[in-house]
Structure 1
Amino acid sequence: MRASTALLAGLLGAAGALHLAKPSVYERVVPGWVPGTPRQVVLVSGAAEAALGAALLPRRTRRLAAWGAVALFVAVFPANVKQFRRASRRPGAERWITAARLPLQLPLVWWAARVACRVD
């Protein structure tokens, strides 16, 4: 397994663990049009992140897990936009951190797609 695959698995696992440990932090950025309660959405997405991270480790599930990560990174983009819109009205670091996250979604999608295309 390449280091980049292990790093992506770790990133997804850590993100999933954070969502599951502190769901209230993420609930406020769930767009209202997403079905379910914000808590349900955060817990499901956290479980999905953790499961995808774990599924990246075995070679036989890596390709499917990597494509799942691509879909997840695309699916959470509206929440990142909502978070940015809320933070853009506030002064300080949160505004700049959320602004920086938006363009970072594209490299995450690319990274996961690259892992999917080269099962090592």
Structure 2
Amino acid sequence: MTTLPRSITRAVLGGALVFTGVAHLTFARRGFQVAVPDWVPGDPDTTVVASGVVEIALGAAMLVARRRRRGVGRLVALFLAAVFPGNVSQWTHHRSAPGLDTEMKRFGRLFLQPVLIMLALWSTRGHREARTIGA
């Protein structure tokens, strides 16, 4: 019975990653550049484009992977953890981006990342594994 909520969560998360990845490459490209921490080497635009491509690939994998679903979930979790310093940098440097134009929104965004990481891991666990864990 837990398969449907996991499938829905996985589809929503995968779709959100694809959408956000496309946004990195198109209409929100400049907005994402403000989240790139100053200590990241190279041009912020290159970082935004590269992360957008990775996001699209991971989102698509979330949507279609079957046999390697658990591995994809782990990769998504690692990616989300890797971009978290950008969220912190954006908040600490008071940099606005589309949808994150106030201190409260930028601060609140920090708490969303761990939830997304947990959802990526939870939604890609196998049915048998979920039963033995009790979730």
Q: Which runs of 4+ in 1 moved over 6 A?
A: none
The answer for the alignment partner of 2:49 in structure 1 is 43
Structure number, greater radius of gyration: 2
C-alpha distance in structure 1 between counterparts of 2:60 and 2:13, whole Å: 10
Taking structure 1 as the reference length, what is the TM-score of the superposition? 0.86
Quote the offset at 1:108 in angstroms. 0.6
User: Which amino acid counterpart does residue 43 of structure 1 have in structure 2?
Assistant: V
Whether 1:84 aligns to 2:55 is: no
Whether 1:94 aligns to 2:99 is: no
- The secondary structure found in structure 2 opposite 1:53 is helix
Aligned length, in residue pairs: 116
C-alpha distance in structure 2 between counterparts of 1:52 and 1:42, whole Å: 15
Once the two structures are overlaid, the 10-residue window that deviates more, 5-14 or 22-31, is: 22-31
Question: For structure 2, which runs of at least 5 residues remain unmatched after alignment?
Answer: 96-100, 129-135
Taking structure 2 as the reference length, what is the TM-score of the superposition? 0.77
C-alpha distance in structure 2 between counterparts of 1:17 and 1:41, whole Å: 14
**Contact 2:91/2:107 (CA < 8 Å) preserved in 1?**
yes
Once the two structures are overlaid, the 10-residue window that deviates more, 15-24 or 45-54, is: 15-24
C-alpha distance in structure 1 between counterparts of 2:16 and 2:103, whole Å: 23
C-alpha distance in structure 1 between counterparts of 2:72 and 2:42, whole Å: 24
Question: For structure 1, which runs of at least 5 residues remain unmatched after alignment?
Answer: none
Match of 1:7 among 5, 9, 12: 12
CA RMSD of aligned residues (A): 2.0
Larger RCO of the pair (alpha carbons < 8 Å, separation 6+):
2
C-alpha distance in structure 2 between counterparts of 1:119 and 1:40, whole Å: 39
Quote the offset at 1:118 in angstroms. 2.6
